[in-house]
Amino acid sequence: MAIIQWFPGHMAKAKRLIQESLSQVDVVIELVDARVPQASRNPMMEQVFHQKPTVLVLTKSDKADPDVTAQWVRHFTSDNLRAIAVNVHQQKDVERIYEACEELLEPKRERLRKKGVLKPRAMRALVVGIPNVGKSTLINKLVGKKVAKTGDTPGVTKSNAWLKTKRGMELLDTPGILWPKFEEQRVGLLLAVTGAIKDQLLPLHDVATFALRYLATHYEQALCERLGVDEVPDEIEAQYEQFGQRRGILQKGGEVDWDRVSEAIIRDVREERFGRVSFERVEDLSVLESEGEGSVQS
């Protein structure tokens, strides 16, 4: 697979605005997709944040494998970072984000109280995340009304904007930003299968094949049920054939339509037809590091 080059002008502008605004905020709220939490973190933005207190919000947790998500939360959490798994459509989960921000900033507020500042200004948070991680939905929940456009396709938010939440916190919304290129084939496939990058950027057959192989390894029973078999065929071609025949995705003459089968497989993943699936695991990190693929360069 060729290296993906995708850095539209509005993303370059957004990065610059984030850098300029960082001194004005107290905490960063970074959203990642719980199904691919490491792949959906933007290493370019991590460099920009430096030592800012950060709440890492694993969104779409209702779509991810809960056991795997719990491992990621433990992996990410540190002194300066709180990781929480949420469904941004649930208000009780949104409240947990407030609580995590307040917990991180309590040492700073205590220092201000000792200096005699009893009523500090409202907490300011920078909200960042790659496209399609639920950022606009979360902001609408925090503010209490529809102020950010939402959608299932990348690139809905186009400019930075300050917004005030129901609890007085001030938010700086930013467009979803991807890094300039993915030099790991795996990262591109992970972002493609979950819909973080536009479907036109990668051959759907490559994405669907990646999904089938991962499912066969980690969610074999779910794949068997979807294929209608007792055992997953070893050959990927046979898996396509079985999927197409069972779903009736055929061309004239009764042959399986591979292009449409690829689309159907990806759609089934995104619509949770295989159940709650995580495509990244904490143990994958040590394997990638040993193979020299531990980072994405920008």
- Closest by CA to 83, choosing from 107, 65, 62, 104, is 104
Q: Report the SS3 class of residue 220.
A: helix
Asked if 66 and 34 count as a contact pair (C-beta separation under 8 A), the reply is: no
Domains of the chain: 4-181 (3.40.50.300), 203-286 (1.10.1580.10)
Q: Helix axis angle, 66-76 relative to 282-290, nearest 10°? A: 60
- Cα 39 from Cα 17, distance rounded (Å): 23
The upper half-sphere exposure of residue 296, i.e. CA atoms within 13 Å in the direction of its Cβ, equals 26
pLDDT of 62: 95
Q: What is the pLDDT of residue 247?
A: 92
**Residues 35/62, Cβ–Cβ less than 8 Å:** no
Reduced to 3 states (helix: H, G, I; strand: E, B; else coil), residue 272 is coil
pLDDT at 287: 63
User: 47: burial class by Cβ within 10 Å (0-12, 13-18, 19+)?
Assistant: exposed
Burial 206-239 (b: 16+ CB within 10 A, else e): bbbbbbbebbbeebeebbeebbeeeebeeeeeeb
**pLDDT per residue as tens, the chain (298 positions):** 545 555 556 566 667 777 787 888 999 999 999 999 999 988 777 777 767 899 999 999 999 999 999 999 999 998 889 999 999 889 899 999 999 999 998 888 788 788 887 677 788 998 888 888 988 889 888 888 887 654 444 444 445 567 888 888 899 877 777 766 666 788 889 999 999 888 888 899 999 999 999 999 999 999 999 999 999 999 999 999 999 999 999 998 889 999 999 999 999 999 999 999 999 999 988 765 555 544 333 3
pLDDT given at position 294: 41
